[in-house]
Amino acid sequence: MFVVDLTFDCYQDTTLEAAEKAIIRLVNALRFNGQIIGEEFPTVLKDGYFLTRVMCPEQDSLHPLYHSPFVKSSLEKLNEVGLLQPKTKVIGQDIHANGADTCSESSCYIIYTTYVHTCSPIYCGDDFMPVPLYKIPAIANGDYKALIKWQEDWQACDQIQINGATRCEFSAIKELAEIDSDLYRRGQTLRKRISELTKKPVFYYLYRVGGLNKVSEQKRQCPSCNGDWRLIKPLFGLFDFKCDGCGLVSNISWDHQ
Same-domain check for residues 51 and 173: no
The Cα–Cα gap between 4 and 252 comes to 39
Nearest to 143 by CA among 256, 11, 3, 30: 30
Cα separations in angstroms, 109 against 28, 120, 151, 170, 250: 25, 12, 15, 29, 14
What CA–CA distances, in Å, run from 49 to 54, 71, 86, 144, 173? 16, 21, 10, 30, 46
Same domain for 131 and 47: no
The CATH number of residue 61's host domain is 3.30.70.100
The amino acid present at 87, given as its one-letter code, is: K
Do 187 and 214 belong to one domain? yes
Whether the per-residue pLDDT at 104 is higher than 90: the answer is: no
Classify residue 219 by its DSSP letter.
Answer: T
96 pLDDT above the threshold of 90:
no
pLDDT at 19: 93
- pLDDT average, residue stretch 44-65: 94
Angle between the N-to-C axes of helices 69-80 and 16-32, in degrees from 0 to 180, rounded to the nearest 10: 170
Could you give the number of structural domains in the chain?
A: 2
Residue 8: its H or E element: strand 2-9
- Separation between Cα atoms, residue 28 and residue 145, nearest integer Å: 10
Quickly state the pLDDT bin for 248 (edges 50, 70, 90).
very high
Please give the model's pTM, rounded to 2 decimal places: 0.94
Average pLDDT score over residue span 187-191: 98
One domain for residues 131 and 198: yes
User: Is there a contact between 103 and 82 (Cβ–Cβ < 8 Å)?
Assistant: no
Structural domain contains residue 102: no
Pair (87, 167) in one structural domain: no
Distance CA 108, CA 23 (A): 36
User: With 90 as the cut, is the pLDDT of residue 12 above it?
Assistant: no
Q: pLDDT averaged over the chain?
A: 95
- Whether 194 is in a domain gets the answer yes
Residues 8 and 78 in one domain: yes
Q: Is residue 74 domain-shared with residue 178, that is, in the same domain? A: no
Q: Are residues 46 and 155 in the same domain?
A: no
**Sequence-ordered alpha helix ranges (H) in the chain:** 16-32, 69-80, 145-163, 168-177, 182-198, 214-218
> Within this chain, do residues 141 and 20 fall inside the same structural domain, yes or no?
no
Identify the pLDDT of residue 166.
Answer: 85
Q: Is the pLDDT of residue 102 over 90?
A: no
Half-sphere exposure (Cβ direction) of 226: Cα atoms closer than 13 Å: 0
- Expressed as residue numbers, the domain containing 150 is 109-256
Whole-number pLDDT of residue 211: 85
> In the chain, what are the helix, strand and coil shares in percent, each to the nearest 5?
35, 25, 45
Contact assessment for residue 184 and residue 207, using Cβ atoms and an 8 Å cutoff: no
> At which of 37, 63, 93 does a domain end?
93
Cα(174)–Cα(177) distance, integer angstroms? 5
- pLDDT classification of 123: cutoffs 50, 70, 90: very high
Q: What is the pLDDT of residue 11?
A: 87
Is the same domain home to 87 and 128?
A: no
Point out the domain boundary residue: 41, 60, 93. 93
Say yes or no to pLDDT of 87 above 90.
yes
Average pLDDT over residues 42-61: 94
Confidence label for 217 from pLDDT (cuts 50, 70 and 90): very high
- The pLDDT value given to residue 218: 93
Q: Given phi > 0 = left and psi -120 to 50 = alpha, else beta, which region is 211?
A: left
Residues 166, 245, single domain; the answer is yes
Predicted confidence (pLDDT) per residue in 175-184, tens digit: 999 999 999 9
Which pLDDT belongs to residue 130? 96
- Based on the fold, state whether residues 241 and 128 are members of the same structural domain: yes
212 pLDDT above the threshold of 90: no
pLDDT at 255 over 90: no
pLDDT of residue 47: 84
Q: Percent of the chain, pLDDT > 90?
A: 85
Assigned domain for 100 exists: no
Better pLDDT: 144 or 167? 144
